[in-house]
Every structure is written in C-alpha cells, then in structure tokens.
C-alpha cells in the first residue's frame, strides 16, 4: 500500500491501516500505534470512569468545591499545562506528511541510502513557517518562510531545514540573537507583530550591510508567497555530499514547486491578514484534503570539493547564492505531500528539526552560520520540549531501530532491558560487544585542522552588495516597482530619520536608481553612497561578478503554464445567464481550477431560465483577495443588480488593481464600466489592450475560445502592466 493521493479525504487515516510494504508507509504505521480515536464514555488519565463531566464535587448543593475532587483537579491542572513554549523563531507554522523519491541514483556523489535508488520512497514530514511572527500571527505578512523537511530514512532521520530564499541575513551565527531581537516586536511595548517595518530592524539592517542581499529578497514578492505550494525552498548553506569512495562535493539544495513560483500583492497580503489570517495554512490543508497533493522537485548544485575557489565568492558565505547559470541545478527527485497531520500539537508543534540531523553521505560545511545552528537547535528543543528525550515523541522517532546507552531523563519512554548501559561490554549478550568504527561514520574525517584560534572573518566574506545588485538587475520592471514600494513602506514606518537615511545610503551601493526612488518618498536627502562607505564597519568592496543577470532569480521570467488549483470567483445575482457559465465551469474544472460562486447572500441565485444555482460565498466572507481570477457571467437582471451593489463593484475593482485576470461575458462587461471598459462590439471577443481583461461574447464560450484565453491569462498569474491601476481606490 502506498499513501499516494486519495480524493475525498486523502488526509484521513483509516484506523485499521494495512501492514507497511515499503519504506514510505513505515512512518505512517509507526504513528498509527500512537493514534487515539475518540471513544464513547470518559475516563480520568488513570482510566477511572467519569460519570459526570458537568458538576464538580461539592459539600452540599450550595457548598464549596472539595479538594478531594481528583477528577476536577486533574482536568484543570492538565488544562493549565497544555501549552509549551513556542519556537523562539519560526513559531507560526503548519505541516504535512508525504514522501520523497529520487529520479535517479546519486551513488556517484553520495552514499546516502535514501538517494541511491529511484525505487525507494522515503517518508517525510514538512513544516512550513513564518520566521518573525508568533504562533498566532497572520500567515501573509512580509517575511522569509521556513521550509523544513524531515526525511525518515532507513539510516536515521535527515533534516533539511531551509527557507524559501536561498540566502540569509547574516554570515555568522553569533549575530543571530541580535538579528532576531531587532526583527521581533520591540521589547518595551511588544510591537509590531510579525513585521520588520519598525525602527529596531532597520536600525540593525542599516548598520550591518551583510544583510543587504537578503533584504532584496524579503522586500521582493518572494516575501509574500501566494501559496506554500507555490514557493521554492533552499537549503541555503553549502553542505557536502560524500560518496562511498570518500569523494567530497559541495552541494546546495533547492526545492522547485511543480505549480510554479507565485506571489501575492502587498495590498492583497495585508487585507488577507485580516480577512483570513490562516490563508496559507488553509490553502495547504484544503489542497491536500481535496487530493491536490503539492509536489516539489529536489535540485542540487554540485561543486567538486577543491573547485570552490573557481567561484568569485566564498561558498561558505550564506549571504551568497550560486547563480544557476554558473552551476546548473540538477533535478534529482520529487517530494509529494499527501497527508495532513492528524493532530496539530502532537505532530506539527512537537516536530523537532535540526540541521545537524545528517545521514552518512551528507555532511555539513564550515559555513560559520551553519556551525552555530548545529549548537542552537538541540538547545532549542530542550527548552521547548522539556528534556533530552524529544526524539521519542512519535513525530520525531526514526523509522529505523535506535540503539545506544543513553538512559533516563525527563519523559523517557523506552524500557531498556538488562544491566548494561555502557560500551564496550561482555554482559549484554554474553559475548564482547565493542564499536570498532569500521562502519562509515556520519561525520567523515575531513582536512586536518591546524590553525590559531581567531575571531576574524575571512576577507572573502567582505562583499555585501554584488549579489544584491545581481538580484535587482534580474527582476522585471514590475518586480522592481514592488521592491521599491516595499522599501518605501517599511522605511516610512521608521520614526528616526537618520535610520532611513543610512538605509538609502546603503542601498545606493546596490543601485543608485533604486536608492533614489526609495528616498524620494521618504522626505530625506538623496542617497549618498560615500556617506555609507565612510561609516564604521562598512566595507566598500565588490568582487567581480561573473554573472550580471540571472533569469532564475525573477518570478516573472518563469510564469507557469497550469491553472491547477487556482481559485476563480464567479460573481452572480438573480437572473444570471447560466448555459455559457456552466460550460466555462466545466472547462475550468477540467483544467484543475477551483470555481466558486460569490453573491451578496448565501443560498442560491435564480438563472434566466428560472433554475437555481447554489452560492458558495458572499462578497463579505470571501473577498476578491481570496481568489486568483474573476468571471462575470452575463444576464441583464444579474448585472443590473451587481452594478448597483458597492461590494460587487469593489470586488471587481480590487481584482483589477491586484492584476488578476477578469473575464466578462456579454452584459457582464457593464460591471467593468467603472473602469472605463465597454463592450461595444458585443458579438466579438474583444481583446482590450489591457492585459488579463477579457470581454467576451458568450456565444464564443461554446467553441472553446474563451476557455483558452481565460486559462492562458490566469496561467500568467498576474498582469501588473495595467493602466491606471494606482487610480483604483481599492
Ligand atoms: Fe533557524 C528554527 C531555518 C539560521 C536557530 N530555523 C528554524 C526553522 C527553520 C529555520 C525553517 C523552523 C523549523 C521548524 O519548522 O520547526 N534558520 C533557518 C535557516 C537559517 C537559520 C534557513 C539560515 C540559513 N537558526 C539560524 C541560526 C540560528 C537558528 C543562525 C541560531 C544560531 N532556528 C533556530 C532555533 C529554531 C530555529 C532557535 C527555533 C526553534 C527551533 O529551532 O527548533 O534553534
């Protein structure tokens, strides 16, 4: 049996699961043993039956509650302890189960068993997260997203704890607490929540220029993913592959989503944060429940150990990426997420990742950020999960046997037999038991280290701007506009003008025009790169880049071809013209899109022919920001009502502003009149020269032309080059 997508409740796990046949099922089977189904009746934690769950034990009907009521005491006490400390960063997250399968053997590069055979499926659990917000913060804030994958391999757990951006803010882990303290809500008043738009963050950023490259990413649309299913993942650091022959390679990991890489608009993201703060986690959950199981391909950039100096930057510097045109990404396998967690706390909250959870054949590098992480994650789990036995929590258990002589500790579950808890020994099974180191070690010996202790940073880490410029140069015009707008927004929230000035002076080292555009709206002086260069700790150093533009860094350069799982709103009122609508609904469903009827009230609307169409949502409960595209069917009466309805007009205007595809059939075009579009040649499909606006004759629906145009326009995701979009007061 394999847990491949099952429609209608793919997420639910049957209570009598069949026996595991392959590795993928091993984790499911293991978790099954800990799963508790609801059963009739109540008991205490000691198994004592509870007959009354409504009244505490009192001395007489009006008397005080008795201390001896152990049922009350147990219930209230457990309740008071049911929270654990949230993660100090990446507190808000959601997770899902699935599997990973290589496309080919990687034996040439690594001995990692899970990468040896395309036949082998390895179970995974993935937790996505936002980095700055607390557990209850909104999903769509501007942020880097965590992308942590736990592979339950037959050689133990391997964790790839990455982000949706390929670089990080800082170069050395010793700066991590400073970075996070600056980013998190300010310590005096605990504001703002899940936002970098405040003085302390930009104060730090303006003084530590190594953050500049990462700022370009977070200020870009990458900071606002449309869906967790539509974002890339990166291991960030250079790791090492080690082959069975002992050959070593540097490797950078990439996750490439099958649905393409897409983003929200900033205005949209802010509105969604209020309308549906759970937008991203709901999207993931619903897609998996519907059997639309998200997939990513695993890619690797491999650099032979010893050839890393051919790169013009230091491969160990986590603020640098390897341009894909310099070292192509080899696609080596596929990950599918096909089952939602059964219990959020037990699985998603208690899962414990660690970038040092490695398997033989994969090693870390001397990246100083990674080195610090190796210490931090175990420490974080000890604080969060209450002791050294967190590996025994079901979601964290490996699927291969554990054997060592670690004993005791809080919440120990294993009942280790016998008198022996040491190695070597002869008393365990009567013969000598000794580990002789013959098997391949997880951490193979690397070059001998013979150096003086130093707190010095290598000069090869000094260039903080070349790749920020590379990122900027690689963006489309619309993407550049969004970056400028994001910097303006963030810095306009900064109260101290000196901080704004320092920041734009820094940006002048990325691109003078960018800095000037940001400065223009902030009421400060024009940017001065010399001022930045003169500051303490600021090095005005640039390496010679081999690549000046990199298409892979732009999302616009790689629009997807599919509209699978895209959400289309059909705005309707009584009197809607149903036949062309029905046909379009069929076509869109066949293309994998999700269509929902939106009206001013729930229930149903009547069609021109007097039939009823069931309404899915109201304009109030599901505004346009929750959709990818809008369809306005014809029908005189329906359109007259919609034109007189502010929330319907706003719905369409807002979709226009956010660059979404809008298709109007026949009279439906009148709803667009507010935007200055009219459908004078009513019998023609008019491709108004406004990208993504389709005004169509309903008769053309039957010949498939409208479907084709509509799908092609939605697949482009957004149409930013629209006239007067800023004039729309949405
Ligand atoms: Fe980290 C959580 C990713 C640098 C210390 N980190 C955490 C999570 C992700 C990342 C995805 C959430 C894991 C989960 O879902 O449970 N972190 C990164 C990446 C980094 C990075 C991609 C740089 C390339 N992190 C980093 C540094 C330190 C930490 C430099 C400390 C020196 N990170 C932690 C942590 C967390 C964590 C405090 C919070 C809770 C936890 O680990 O389990 O230990």
Q: Report the pLDDT averaged over residues 347-366.
A: 97
Q: How far apart are CA 405 and CA 422, in angstroms?
A: 6
Torsion of CA 186, 161, 95, 103, to 10 degrees: 150
At 536 the pLDDT is 82
Residue 730 has pLDDT above 80, yes or no: no
For residue 89, report the distance from its CA to the centre of ligand 1, in Å: 7
Cβ 175 under 6 angstroms from ligand 1 = no
The answer for 55, left when phi > 0, alpha when psi is -120 to 50, beta otherwise, is beta
Strands in 617-618's sheet, in edge-to-edge order, are 617-618, 594-599, 567-571, 629-632, 661-665, 693-696
Specify the higher pLDDT residue, 439 or 126: 126
Query: How many whole angstroms from its chain centre is CA 498?
Result: 34
Structure token pair of residue 658: 């956010």
At 681 the pLDDT is 44
Going by the annotation, the residues of the binding site for heme are 87, 127, 176, 373, 377, 384
Specify the higher pLDDT residue, 215 or 442: 215
Give the helix/strand (H/E) hosting 286.
helix 279-289
- Provide the pLDDT confidence category of residue 9 given band limits of 50, 70 and 90: very low
Q: How far apart are CA 260 and CA 297, in angstroms?
A: 11
Q: Which atom of ligand 1 is nearest to the CA of 148?
A: 11
Question: Tens digits of per-residue pLDDT, 607-643?
Answer: 999 999 999 999 999 999 999 999 999 999 999 999 9
For residue 444, report the distance from its CA to the centre of ligand 1, in Å: 25
Cβ 165 under 6 angstroms from ligand 1 = no
- Provide the pLDDT confidence category of residue 7 given band limits of 50, 70 and 90: very low
At 40 the pLDDT is 87
Question: Tens digits of per-residue pLDDT, 682-727?
Answer: 333 344 568 899 989 999 898 899 999 999 999 999 999 887 788 7
Question: Tens digits of per-residue pLDDT, 209-246?
Answer: 999 999 999 999 999 999 999 999 999 999 999 999 99
Nearest-5° Cα angle at 314, 313 to 320: 70
Residue 42 has pLDDT above 80, yes or no: yes
Q: Which atom of ligand 1 is nearest to the CA of 369?
A: 30
**642 contacts 672 by C-beta, under 8 angstroms:** no
Q: Where do the DSSP E strands lie in 79-144? A: 92-102, 122-130
Residue 21 has pLDDT above 60, yes or no: no
Mean pLDDT of the chain: 92
Q: Report the pLDDT averaged over residues 81-96.
A: 98
Q: Report the pLDDT averaged over residues 338-348.
A: 98
Q: Which atom of ligand 1 is nearest to the CA of 167?
A: 24
Residue 40: CB partners within 8 Å, gap ≥ 6?
none
Cβ 433 under 6 angstroms from ligand 1 = no
| β-pair type (156-163, 122-130) | unpaired
For residue 587, report the distance from its CA to the centre of ligand 1, in Å: 44
At 546 the pLDDT is 83
Cβ 350 under 6 angstroms from ligand 1 = no
Q: Report the pLDDT averaged over residues 159-171.
A: 98
- Provide the pLDDT confidence category of residue 348 given band limits of 50, 70 and 90: very high
Residue 49 has pLDDT above 70, yes or no: yes
Q: How far apart are CA 251 and CA 362, in angstroms?
A: 9
Cβ 88 under 6 angstroms from ligand 1 = yes
Q: Report the pLDDT averaged over residues 121-137.
A: 98
Question: Tens digits of per-residue pLDDT, 481-536?
Answer: 999 999 999 999 999 999 999 999 999 999 999 999 999 999 999 999 999 998 88
- Provide the pLDDT confidence category of residue 448 given band limits of 50, 70 and 90: confident
- Provide the pLDDT confidence category of residue 560 given band limits of 50, 70 and 90: confident
Q: How far apart are CA 679 and CA 161, in angstroms?
A: 52
For residue 377, report the distance from its CA to the centre of ligand 1, in Å: 7
Of all residues in the chain, what percent carry a pLDDT higher than 90?
85
Residue of minimum CA distance from atom 30 in ligand 1: 173
Question: Tens digits of per-residue pLDDT, 398-419?
Answer: 999 999 999 999 999 999 999 9
Cβ 376 under 6 angstroms from ligand 1 = yes
Nearest-5° Cα angle at 142, 561 to 230: 20
- Provide the pLDDT confidence category of residue 439 given band limits of 50, 70 and 90: low
Specify the higher pLDDT residue, 12 or 180: 180
Residue of minimum CA distance from atom 15 in ligand 1: 127
3-class state of residue 482 by DSSP: helix
For residue 380, report the distance from its CA to the centre of ligand 1, in Å: 9
Residue 369 has pLDDT above 90, yes or no: yes
Q: Report the pLDDT averaged over residues 633-654.
A: 95
At 446 the pLDDT is 63
Q: Report the pLDDT averaged over residues 123-135.
A: 98
What φ, ψ does residue 525 adopt, rounded to 5°? -70, 160
At 38 the pLDDT is 83
- Provide the pLDDT confidence category of residue 674 given band limits of 50, 70 and 90: low
At 282 the pLDDT is 98
Torsion of CA 524, 525, 530, 534, to 10 degrees: -50
Q: Which atom of ligand 1 is nearest to the CA of 170?
A: 30
Pocket test for ligand 1, best of 84, 124, 128, 146 (most atoms within 8 A of CB): 146
- Provide the pLDDT confidence category of residue 25 given band limits of 50, 70 and 90: confident
Structure token pair of residue 698: 């309903």
Q: Report the pLDDT averaged over residues 303-312.
A: 94
Torsion of CA 557, 561, 563, 566, to 10 degrees: -20
Task: Mark 188-224 as b/e (b = at least 16 C-beta within 10 Å).
Answer: eeeebebbbbbebbbbbbbbbbbbbbbbbbbbbbbbb
At 724 the pLDDT is 76
For residue 163, report the distance from its CA to the centre of ligand 1, in Å: 9
For residue 539, report the distance from its CA to the centre of ligand 1, in Å: 28
3-class state of residue 590 by DSSP: helix
Torsion of CA 669, 625, 232, 319, to 10 degrees: 120
Question: Tens digits of per-residue pLDDT, 593-604?
Answer: 999 999 999 999
Question: Tens digits of per-residue pLDDT, 264-279?
Answer: 999 999 999 999 999 9
Pocket test for ligand 1, best of 127, 128, 172, 353 (most atoms within 8 A of CB): 353
What φ, ψ does residue 678 adopt, rounded to 5°? -135, 160
Specify the higher pLDDT residue, 233 or 441: 233
At 490 the pLDDT is 98
Residue 201: CB partners within 8 Å, gap ≥ 6?
182, 183
Q: How far apart are CA 472 and CA 322, in angstroms?
A: 16
pTM beyond 0.80: yes
Residue 96 has pLDDT above 50, yes or no: yes
Q: Report the pLDDT averaged over residues 439-459.
A: 76
Nearest-5° Cα angle at 553, 173 to 374: 20
At 725 the pLDDT is 81
Going by the annotation, the residues of the binding site are 87, 127, 176, 373, 377, 384
Residue 679 has pLDDT above 60, yes or no: no
Residue 23 has pLDDT above 90, yes or no: no
Report the candidate in 538, 483, 532 with the shortest Cα–Cα distance to residue 505.
532
Q: How far apart are CA 86 and CA 68, in angstroms?
A: 34
- Per the DSSP assignment, residues forming a β-bridge with 256 are 297
Q: Report the pLDDT averaged over residues 14-21.
A: 41
């Amino acid at each position: 049996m394999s847990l491949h997508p099952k429609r209608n409740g793919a997420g639910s796990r049957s209570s009598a699961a069949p026996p595991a046949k392959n590795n993928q099922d091993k984790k499911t089977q293991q978790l099954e043993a800990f799963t508790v189904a609801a059963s009739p009746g109540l008991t205490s934690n000691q198994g004592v039956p509870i007959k009354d769950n409504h009244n505490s034990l009192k001395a007489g009907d009006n008397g005080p509650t008795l201390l001896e009521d152990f049922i009350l005491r147990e219930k209230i006490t457990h309740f008071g302890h049911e929270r654990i400390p949230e993660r100090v960063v990446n507190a808000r997250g959601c997770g899902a189960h699935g599997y990973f399968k290589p496309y080919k053997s990687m034996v040439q590069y690594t001995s990692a068993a899970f990468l040896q055979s395309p036949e082998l499926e390895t179970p995974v659990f993935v937790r996505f997260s936002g980095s700055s917000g607390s557990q209850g913060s909104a999903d769509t804030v501007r942020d880097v997203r965590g992308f942590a994958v736990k592979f339950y391999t037959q050689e133990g757990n391997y964790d790839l704890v990455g982000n949706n951006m390929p670089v990080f803010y800082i170069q050395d882990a010793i700066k991590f607490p400073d970075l996070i303290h600056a980013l998190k809500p300010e310590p005096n008043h605990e504001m703002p929540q899940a936002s970098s738009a405040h003085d302390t963050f930009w104060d730090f950023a303006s003084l530590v220029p190594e953050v500049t490259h990462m700022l370009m990413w977070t200020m870009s649309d990458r900071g606002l993913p449309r869906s967790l299913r539509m974002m890339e993942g990166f291991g960030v650091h250079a790791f090492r592959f080690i082959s069975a022959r002992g050959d070593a390679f540097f490797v950078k990991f990439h996750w490439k989503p099958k649905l393409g890489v897409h983003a929200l608009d900033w205005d949209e993201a802010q509105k969604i944060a209020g309308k549906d703060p759970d937008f991203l986690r709901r999207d993931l959950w619903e897609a998996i429940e519907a059997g639309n199981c998200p997939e990513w391909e695993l890619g690797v950039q491999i650099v032979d150990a010893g050839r890393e100096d051919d790169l013009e930057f230091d491969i160990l510097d986590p603020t640098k990426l390897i341009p894909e045109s310099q070292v192509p990404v080899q696609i080596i396998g596929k990950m599918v997420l096909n089952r939602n967690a059964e219990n959020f706390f037990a699985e998603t909250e208690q899962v414990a990742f660690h970038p040092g959870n490695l398997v033989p054949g994969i090693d870390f590098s001397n990246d100083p950020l990674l080195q610090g992480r190796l210490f931090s994650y175990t420490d974080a789990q000890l604080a969060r999960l209450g002791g050294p036995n967190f590996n025994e929590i079901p979601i964290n258990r490996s699927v291969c046997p554990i054997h060592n002589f670690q004993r005791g500790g809080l919440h120990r579950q294993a009942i280790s037999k016998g008198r022996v808890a040491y190695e070597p020994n002869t008393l365990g099974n009567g013969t000598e038991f000794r580990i002789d180191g013959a098997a391949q070690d997880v951490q193979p010996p690397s070059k001998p280290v013979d150096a003086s202790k130093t707190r010095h940073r290598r000069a090869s880490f000094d260039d903080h701007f070349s790749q920020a410029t590379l990122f900027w140069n690689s963006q489309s015009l619309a993407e550049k506009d969004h970056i400028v707008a994001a910097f303006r927004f963030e810095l306009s929230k900064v109260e101290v003008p000196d901080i704004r000035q320092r920041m734009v002076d820094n940006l002048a080292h990325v691109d003078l025009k960018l800095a000037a555009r940001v400065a223009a709206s902030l009421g400060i002086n024009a940017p001065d790169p010399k001022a930045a260069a003169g500051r303490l700790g600021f090095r005005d150093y640039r390496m010679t880049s081999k690549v000046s533009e990199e298409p892979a860094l732009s999302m616009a350069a790689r629009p997807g071809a599919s509209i699978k799982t895209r959400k289309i709103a059909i705005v309707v009122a009584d009197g809607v013209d149903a036949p062309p609508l029905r046909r379009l609904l069929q076509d869109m469903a066949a293309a994998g899109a999700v269509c929902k009827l939106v009206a001013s009230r729930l229930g149903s609307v009547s069609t021109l022919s007097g039939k009823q169409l069931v309404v899915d949502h109201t304009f109030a409960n599901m505004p346009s920001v929750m959709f990818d595209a809008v369809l306005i069917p014809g029908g005189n009466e329906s359109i007259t009502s919609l034109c007189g309805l502010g929330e319907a007009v706003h719905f369409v205007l807002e979709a226009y502003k956010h660059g979404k595809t809008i298709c109007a059939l026949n009279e439906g075009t009148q709803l667009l009149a507010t935007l200055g579009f009219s459908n004078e040649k009513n019998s023609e499909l008019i491709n108004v020269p406004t990208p993504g606006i389709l005004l169509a004759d309903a008769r053309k629906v039957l010949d498939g032309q409208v479907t084709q145009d509509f799908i092609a326009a939605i697949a482009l995701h957004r149409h930013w080059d629209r006239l007067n979009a800023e004039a729309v007061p949405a």
